[in-house]
Structure 1
Amino acid sequence: MKNGSTLFLRLAVILLGLPVLALCIFLVPNIGDFAAELYPEMEFIKYLVIVFFYVTAIPFYYALYQAFKLLNFIDQNLAFSELSVHALKTIKLSAVTLGTLYIFGMPLFYLVAERDDAPGIILIGMIIIAASIVVAVFAAVLQKLLQQAINYKKENELTV
């Protein structure tokens, strides 16, 4: 398969990663400072917020890396291989990890939203959790379909 066939998807993966990188570099320290201003009696909250967002970026970028690897497998005609199944499994686990981290981080969102009187902050956390669940389910379905296709391919090779 030509490398250009997945070029658009590679570009989409990169374009998904760039805004999150920009947010991590420029906005996360400001969010930490904002949380510290809201709760001056809790000095550690600034670092808690910063660490939370940086830790949640790890499974996000790992899933993007696995998606990039999956696109490489497609370009190398290895789409129907165990490597692709493993990449989809890793994407699923990364999405579940991200969603779980945000579920455990929701009290932090609640603290900031309560003091700032901004319920939209909680909504943002809920959207990230929902998106993670959707990605995990989609990756699980694709993983199962791909595994079935590989099994059918193996059966056909044995019967011929």
Structure 2
Amino acid sequence: MKQSSTIFLKLALFLMGAPILALAIYGIFYLAGNSVDPNYASNLYPALIIMYISVIPYCTALYQAFRLLMLIDNNEGFSNVSVEALIKIKYCGLIISGLYVVMLPFVYLVAEKDDAPGLIIIGMIPIFASLVIAVFAAVLKRLLNEAIDIKSENDYTV
């Protein structure tokens, strides 16, 4: 397989990870220090902590996706290492979803104080996005396991 087809995906992974890391380093500290209303601080800080913790599984999932692309470049896409990377991506997606489910009550309290019901729907976006990624990784893992089994059967018959 040509490496040019995976270069675009590697670039996309970098473009997905760089803003999150920049936000984690600079943006969250700025937001925590410059809250608009001090009444929100009791609800804002737990949400910021959860957002900060969610950066770890997010970056781990991006690294595993990069590792998977490197395996595809080396023609080792149908291996157990690829299956392990997909398992880790699935668990990272589930962890992120769980963290944002825990954060949802704090979003509700802020939405209640600010009278903004749309904020709750916006708070659900990371939950469903990470669940979709986790389910997709689980499906790919199952398909990859079946492909590895078929490949090993073909290797034994030849």
2:150 corresponds to 1:149: no
| Aligned residue number for residue 98 of structure 1 | 96
Aligned residue type for 2:58? F
Taking structure 1 as the reference length, the TM-score comes to 0.89
Tell me the distance in 1 between the aligned counterparts of 2:39 and 2:26: 19
* Aligned length in residues: 157
Aligned residue type for 2:69? L
| Aligned residue number for residue 125 of structure 1 | 123
Tell me the distance in 1 between the aligned counterparts of 2:142 and 2:121: 31
CA contact (8 A) 2:10 2:69 kept: yes
| Aligned residue number for residue 34 of structure 1 | 35
Give the direction of change, closer, same or farther, for the CA distance of 1:38–1:31 in structure 2 (3 Å limit): farther
CA contact (8 A) 2:47 2:107 kept: no
Give the direction of change, closer, same or farther, for the CA distance of 1:120–1:31 in structure 2 (3 Å limit): farther
- The alpha carbon displacement at 1:59 in A equals 0.8
CA contact (8 A) 2:54 2:96 kept: yes
Identity rate of aligned residues, in percent?
Answer: 49
| Aligned residue number for residue 57 of structure 2 | 59
- Superimposed CA distance per residue, residues 126-148 of structure 1 (whole angstroms, 9 cap, x where no aligned partner): 11111011101111111100000
Aligned residue type for 2:9? L
Unaligned segments of structure 1, at least 5 residues: none
Tell me the distance in 2 between the aligned counterparts of 1:139 and 1:84: 11
CA RMSD of aligned residues (A): 1.8
CA contact (8 A) 1:35 1:46 kept: no
Unaligned segments of structure 2, at least 5 residues: none
| Aligned residue number for residue 24 of structure 1 | 24
Taking structure 2 as the reference length, the TM-score comes to 0.90
Give the direction of change, closer, same or farther, for the CA distance of 1:61–1:36 in structure 2 (3 Å limit): farther
